[in-house]
Amino acid sequence: MKHLAPLLLIVAACGGKAASTTPGNTGGAASYGAGEWSHIDHALLDELDTRICGFAGKSVLDLGGGPGQYTMAMAQRGARVTWHDVSRTYLEMSRGRAESLGLTGKVTFSLGYLDEAPRLAPQPPERRVTLQAAG
């Protein structure tokens, strides 16, 4: 199977409010992740959508996908998104959201560290974007 380079590589940068990914400490990640769903920056998504001429049909690799709010938002706008994060709690949250939003065919999931990400996109992406959480 030939791997195609994603159009976008999204790296989510947390604004100093990192949720714990320590094994067994799922309460912090679950609480933080649930709150992030109410803080989606739609203006940021609109700006990105405009700059790339729409998400529809694009492949996106979302590194540090966290609770998945941006992964799902890009998928809802028509992108095929690969979510990648180290947190099993976020993986469960994101999978649940993909199912409830009817996006299971548009989102794939990969659990691991950032240094493992090259296997997800063996070719460099056409564009790189860093989303910085406000706050």
Going from N- to C-terminal start, the domains of the chain cover 8-132
Phi-psi region of 59 (alpha: psi -120 to 50; beta: other; left: phi over 0): beta
**What is d(CA 120, CA 22) in angstroms, rounded to the nearest whole number?**
24
User: Residue 109 has what pLDDT?
Assistant: 96
Strands (E), the chain: 8-13, 59-63, 80-85, 107-111, 127-132
> Which of 26, 13, 3 is closest to 82 using CA atoms?
3
Tokens of 81: 């998104």
User: Residue 13 has what pLDDT?
Assistant: 46
Lowest mean pLDDT among 5-9, 59-63, 91-95, 118-122: 5-9
pLDDT in tens, 4-47: 444 555 655 444 333 434 444 456 777 777 777 888 888 888 98
CATH superfamily of 8-132: Vaccinia Virus protein VP39 (3.40.50.150)
Lowest mean pLDDT among 70-74, 92-96, 120-124: 120-124
Q: Measured on CA atoms in the order 57, 63, 65, 70, is the torsion positive or negative?
A: negative
Between 104 and 135, the more confident residue is: 104
DSSP secondary structure code for residue 133 in this structure: -
**What is d(CA 72, CA 55) in angstroms, rounded to the nearest whole number?**
12
Residue 57, pLDDT above cutoff 80:
yes
In contact, 9 and 125? CB cutoff 8 Å: yes
Phi-psi region of 68 (alpha: psi -120 to 50; beta: other; left: phi over 0): left
Between 92 and 15, the more confident residue is: 92
